[in-house]
Structure formats: structure tokens, C-alpha cells
Amino acid sequence: MSQDREVFELTIAVEPPDIDLMGHVNNVVYLRWVQEAATAHWTAGATPEDQARVLWVVVRHEIDYLRPARLGDTIAARTWVGPASRIRFERHVELLRASDRAVLARARSLWCPIDSQTMKPVAVSQEVRARFSIAE
């Protein structure tokens, strides 16, 4: 984890629809939580102007599933942004069981900023880069 950027944390409750036939959280739900953590971090840290101007799309996800989550668990989704190029931001997410802080999954995603009007890749402002990423 980068020591230069703060870690954002989102609390998530495991709900009955999250559970699969094996009695634990379905792998697709972990991926949804990765996206929810990223979105919440952006919403909490970006200005309303930047939120209106910039949208984000994922170009790659890598996820390691380490332990199952179960109904009744509370999840702590921790996220931070690592290196960024002009149009590619590396985001990390750890999903932990809140009760014992056991790491359930780790994800690394590459996100591309998109202009909300043109829907084309766009470079973000220096302020956004300084707030969310480290130099590549």
C-alpha cells in the first residue's frame, strides 16, 4: 500500500441475495464491493465539479479470493489509488471481515477517467491527481 495516500474505508453488510448455493458470498459480489468502494472513495474525495466532469470505467480487474464471507458478516472495504498515468489509475481494494480484520479478498483494478460529455478518455486535473494517486 502507498504510504503517500490515505486509505478510504467503506462498511458493507452481507445481505441474503449476496449468498450463493455454497452458503457464502458469491465471487461476483466481491467484485461489486470493489466497485462500490472505488465509487464511494471518489464521491467522498472529489469536488462536485470533478464528479460532474469525470466518470470512471474499469479496463482491468485482478482479484484474489482468500476467505469466504458469510451472511451476517460486516465487510470493511479498504481502498487507495496507487500509480497513475495520464489516463490509467491503479486502484487497490482489500475486503476484510470487520469482526477480526481477516483479509477475505484483494483486488487490483485499472481505471480510466472518461469525460462525461464526450465519453472519451480524459486527463484529470492536477488537483485530482494529487488527491487520489501517486506519480508513476
- What tens-digit pLDDT sequence spans the chain (136 residues)? 444 568 999 999 999 999 999 999 999 999 999 999 999 999 999 999 999 999 999 999 999 999 999 999 999 999 999 988 888 999 999 999 999 999 999 999 999 999 999 999 999 888 888 888 765 5
Question: Exposure of 114 by Cβ count < 10 A (0-12 exposed, 13-18 middle, 19+ buried)?
Answer: middle
CB atoms within 10 A of CB 40: 16
Going along the chain from its start, the domains and CATH numbers come out as: 8-135 (3.10.129.10)
pLDDT of residue 3: 45
Residue with cell 445481505: 15
